[in-house]
Structure 1
Amino acid sequence: MTLIPDPTYPQPLPLMPEASEPAPYPVHVLPTLLQDAARAIAHHVQAPEAIAGQCVIGVAAYLAQTRVNAPALNRLDGMPCSLFLLTLANSGDRKSECRRLAFRVIDDAEREARSAYRQQCKEIEDGAAHLKGKARDEYLAEHPLPSDPRTQYSDATFEPIAGDFIRGMPAACWDTDEGGQLFGGASLKADTRASTLGGLVKAFDSGTFERTRSRGNVEGSGVAYHRRLSVHLLAQAVTVAEALDDPLLQGQGFLPRFLFADAPSLAGTRLLTPDRMHSSAFNDPRLHRFWDRCRAIMATDAAIDTETGEVTPPTLQPTPAAEEVWREHYNATEAEQSTLGDLAGVRPFAGRAGELARRLAAVLACFEQCPEITDSIMQSACAIVRYSVGEWARYTEGERLSPDLKQAAALIAWLVEKDWQSFDARQLQREGPQSVRRSAKARDRLLAVLVEHRYLLTSNGKQFQLNPAATTATPATTPATPSPGTCDTFATTCDKSEPADTLSQPVATLSQPSNPVNTGLVAGVANVATTSREKEQAALFEGEI
């Protein structure tokens, strides 16, 4: 049945654009072992294939970065095949479990190596414990402590990782299912983020780490060449939203170096059947084949100079057919970056598509134990990179919206669901969603947005009535352009301690656009939440309405 708009009430102006549907993660293009492993993990964990797919690629990158280089144009020695990966998923979408199954072999080997290291250190320290002076020094010189075999970092910052590389560590993976620790942690705070971003970009490009410290801190200074660092991050969108919208992270080229996926949630569909309850990932032959391949690669020699710690692997070369596949991928992506092209809005990300495809192709070839990059492997790599660029385009398109528009859309949905036909601002703060209870300023800002967009009607900025037309409108269409100005007057009016009363004017009067209170209260909605502090506050309320 088609609903006919009631002309008595003003029609609401749309708050949000229609969200573009995420493209399915192209797990089917991965080589067979990786494809099967990703599908097995997604099945047993009941998680999106995007999370599982990114995790198995992260494993392959960890294994490949010390064994092969990626082919680079105009460079005979190639370039690192290390990868940066970022996957967004909601809390409860089982990021940790996907990562645990994918990285099982690597985690086990790391745990065993570090346990043996601690035991060796203890034996040496015990041997020196009863010695003193010169005898102790001679003993320690004859029995030097072994190098720390650590290769994985989760709860860390860039500075200690760079220090470990300068002290001799050949390769590592910054790998965490709490990606907000990197984007929201000390590494990217205002006073250090520029140098941190520069260091991470240099590490990605050439494997170089450099630090210059004062003379009193000589141990912290130095340069390390030919190192390898991969980054594998799983994060909740709310914990990284501000960082991903930071022009510096995009303009300096840090974010464009990431293979990206914004995984759709499966919450509400993960029902258990008797068969599923009794199935086990550890009995799945697909995962055993994947883990066996991981062990086989780990058993091969890494191309690491034991004296310098430098990683100097051979470069995997593409076949002529693979080069043609890559050239077509590069040209197609380049053409779409024109002013009217589909990728014009994400040029920093699309501009990296060619390099990322060559790196990923080398990673996939290494995992497949191929001596060269074939056309089918290059096709797989290009498809994953195209998906990543598309995800960046979809994500950045949504992030251009004001956080208040998103919050307002959620609030009006709550008011309609709860059938709040009329209320006052103080009542909303007492009985409304938790987010508007915490802050009068945030409450008033959202009310201003809803009045401006005609979802709420008011005559005095204190009492509000739900526009009956709002119950049949959808906020997810082309957004309207609000008026310029400021919402401070709205916040001031609503905070006054005046008793609530019923709406005294008829709805027809309240709904007139010329109502001076209605107009003055909502002037300037376009400028709300534009300061970093306001964005941070809006992010705190994300998902709670």
Structure 2
Amino acid sequence: MNAPLMTEIQTPTGLAPKPLLPDTALPTSYPWDALPYVLRGAVEAIVEHAMVPAAIAGQCVIGGATHLAQTRVNAWHPKGKPEGALCSLFMLSLFDSGEGKSSARELAFKTIDEAEKDARARHRQACAEIETMAAGLKGKAREEFLAAHPLPPDPKTQYSDATFEPLVGDFIRGKAAASWDTDEGGQMLGGHSLKADTVAATLGGLTTAFSSGKFERTRSRGNLEGSGVAYNRRLSIHLMAQAVTVAEALSNPLLVGQGFLARFLLAAPDSLAGTCFISVESLQRKAYADPRLQAYWSRCKEIAASPEHIDPETGEVAPPVLEPDAEAKQVWVDFRNEIESERGPLGMFAGLKPFAARSAEQGLRLAAVLGCYEGVKQIDADCMRRACMLARYSLDEWLRYIDAGANGPEMKLAAELMSWLRGHKHKADWQEFHVNDLGKSGPPAVRSAKVRDKVLAVLLKHHHLLSSDGKQFKINPLAEVADSAEAQQLRGFAIAEDLRNVAEVAPFTRAVHPASAALPQTSAELPHAEAKHLLGLPQNPQNPQFPASANAKSAQMWEMKL
């Protein structure tokens, strides 16, 4: 008599099957509605002009918004820390070379890059003037002059080709905030900073910087200038990389287990190669004249012109906390508890615990960044919900990415068994079956009880099979819906995600938020009203969007399920 098969792994009726193999796992649909109106317009424009997925454009504009926000607001701290928490973000986007990620970053960071260039030009001029005046002096007179007229600090706030050590040195010497921002992320994750002899110290330093803004370095007595501690600094990381250049780092157990990678918001969309067509008419649409980007750049300039909360004596950053209201706190609590419920041994994020544990914190940081960009005085429920949607998007992408890399022989065998069960020769007889029947009459490769039970456990976990007792099995009827969605996706129809949204049961992430959909004018200072006619999503081959009627129908179907 066989014992019941892993009865603790029971698949709830109604969950859509998850792909078994990497080449069948579709990228997570980017949550357009999570973005404030002006940011969303910028993403739409970047998608159109740079011909990149919305996920790449979204990461870029959020990266730019974070660079501006990190010295102007702090995130709310759920434990009641009076000074709040940092809103700095670590972001990683995986996308192939030559497919527009540099162009997307250039459009998103335009005003920041220009301000940096101007500041450094003024700095060079100021230093040159002091050096010219000191040129005729010698000895003690020169020392006294330079002591009375010190060279101004380097205004650099963006690092694209750097390692951790020089960055730490700049913070210790007084730098308040910076972004490690590059479209060659392999230089950082695959570079000298994370080699075997320095990886532990670098990871420890970066995780401390993310959590508290503290940078510390101890040198020998002969190199005291390199030693010191800097408190309350801000460092954001915005990396874009080819997956192949960071694959080794992303599979490094130390980086995963230590929690370093868990601090990154991930986007890993599929390549659009072969779909990025242009026309003579499209050449007339100029990115730098696009009103959506101009509105985005205008708001970036407004934020850049507002005061930064930096102590001129110490360089410490101490901005006010952008507090959530009571409803926003409830939204965050619900999100945090939903993720926590899936961190158990049988939960969706059982193999992703460090990433899931950070998701709620990422939601609070994102809420502060979005609130700063919108110019609000307090974070409301809609802003918090949108921030949590973005955090959940990243978590789903990490789940997809890590699951894809973890596929072994059992996953492949499970996929082959499902094809066999649903093949035209066996479909009528194997819609429902007993575990013993599979051992007797199933494919030879899965007749062994040991192999059979492992493969069935995989199919239960991924919701391809349903079972309430571990003995009797049934093919998930929603498998037909999911397969239809993937087939439509391959044919270029934009209904795949809609079908999946209807099929899946995910109340928080799939909930419809009318306020967000309407894109309200959250801040009176923002010029939302004058650009509302630009709301329509770009109808590009690589990013087809639902018409309003389709979205409404999907929303109605979802509400019926609730």
From 50, 59, 63, the counterpart of 1:58: 63
From 388, 395, 405, the counterpart of 1:399: 405
Q: Secondary structure at the match of 2:83?
A: strand
Unaligned 5+ segments in structure 1 are 1-14, 407-452, 454-476, 479-545
Query: What residue is the counterpart of 2:187 in the other structure?
Result: 181
How far did 1:142 drift? 2.1
Measure the CA separation in 2 of the matches of 1:168 and 1:283.
39
How far did 1:277 drift? 1.2
Query: What residue is the counterpart of 1:483 in the other structure?
Result: none
Q: Deviations over 1:123-150 (max 9, x none)?
A: 1111111211122112212211001000
Which residues in structure 2 correspond to 1:126-525 (within 5 Å)? 126-401=132-407
Q: Secondary structure at the match of 2:239?
A: strand
Query: What residue is the counterpart of 1:73 in the other structure?
Result: 78
How far did 1:295 drift? 0.4
Query: What residue is the counterpart of 1:419 in the other structure?
Result: none
1:47 matched to 2:52? The reply is yes
How far did 1:27 drift? 2.1
**Structure 2: which amino acid aligns with 1:66?**
T
Measure the CA separation in 1 of the matches of 2:126 and 2:397.
47
Measure the CA separation in 2 of the matches of 1:224 and 1:134.
31
How far did 1:16 drift? 5.4
How far did 1:342 drift? 1.3
Q: Residues 48 and 263 of structure 1 are in contact (CA less than 8 Å); yes or no, is this contact kept in structure 2?
A: yes
**Structure 2: which amino acid aligns with 1:299?**
A
Query: What residue is the counterpart of 2:473 in the other structure?
Result: none
**Structure 2: which amino acid aligns with 1:135?**
A
Greater gyration radius? 1
Structure 1, 342-351 or 94-103: larger mean CA deviation: 342-351
Q: Secondary structure at the match of 2:299?
A: helix
Question: Cα 1:285–1:17, aligned 2, differ >3 Å: closer, same or farther?
Answer: closer
Query: What residue is the counterpart of 2:35 in the other structure?
Result: 30
**Structure 1: which amino acid aligns with 2:337?**
N
Measure the CA separation in 1 of the matches of 2:332 and 2:301.
30
Q: Residues 319 and 372 of structure 1 are in contact (CA less than 8 Å); yes or no, is this contact kept in structure 2?
A: yes
CA RMSD of aligned residues (A): 1.8
Q: Residues 19 and 398 of structure 1 are in contact (CA less than 8 Å); yes or no, is this contact kept in structure 2?
A: no
Q: Deviations over 1:148-202 (max 9, x none)?
A: 0000000000000011000000000000000001111110000000100000000
Which residues in structure 2 correspond to 1:84-103 (within 5 Å)? 84-103=90-109
Q: Residues 179 and 236 of structure 2 are in contact (CA less than 8 Å); yes or no, is this contact kept in structure 1?
A: yes
**Identity across the alignment (%):** 57
Q: Residues 21 and 404 of structure 2 are in contact (CA less than 8 Å); yes or no, is this contact kept in structure 1?
A: no
Unaligned 5+ segments in structure 2 are 1-19, 413-444, 446-457, 460-562
Q: Deviations over 1:432-458 (max 9, x none)?
A: xxxxxxxxxxxxxxxxxxxxx9xxxxx
Measure the CA separation in 1 of the matches of 2:114 and 2:151.
23
Measure the CA separation in 2 of the matches of 1:18 and 1:285.
38
Q: Residues 335 and 388 of structure 2 are in contact (CA less than 8 Å); yes or no, is this contact kept in structure 1?
A: yes
Q: Deviations over 1:33-74 (max 9, x none)?
A: 111101111111111111100000001110110001001122
Q: Residues 117 and 146 of structure 1 are in contact (CA less than 8 Å); yes or no, is this contact kept in structure 2?
A: yes
Query: What residue is the counterpart of 2:117 in the other structure?
Result: 111
How far did 1:18 drift? 5.0
Q: Residues 23 and 387 of structure 1 are in contact (CA less than 8 Å); yes or no, is this contact kept in structure 2?
A: yes
How far did 1:29 drift? 1.7
Measure the CA separation in 2 of the matches of 1:362 and 1:182.
26
Q: Residues 87 and 366 of structure 2 are in contact (CA less than 8 Å); yes or no, is this contact kept in structure 1?
A: yes
How far did 1:346 drift? 1.0
How far did 1:401 drift? 4.0
Q: Residues 226 and 312 of structure 1 are in contact (CA less than 8 Å); yes or no, is this contact kept in structure 2?
A: yes
How far did 1:290 drift? 0.4
**Structure 2: which amino acid aligns with 1:266?**
L
Measure the CA separation in 2 of the matches of 1:19 and 1:239.
22
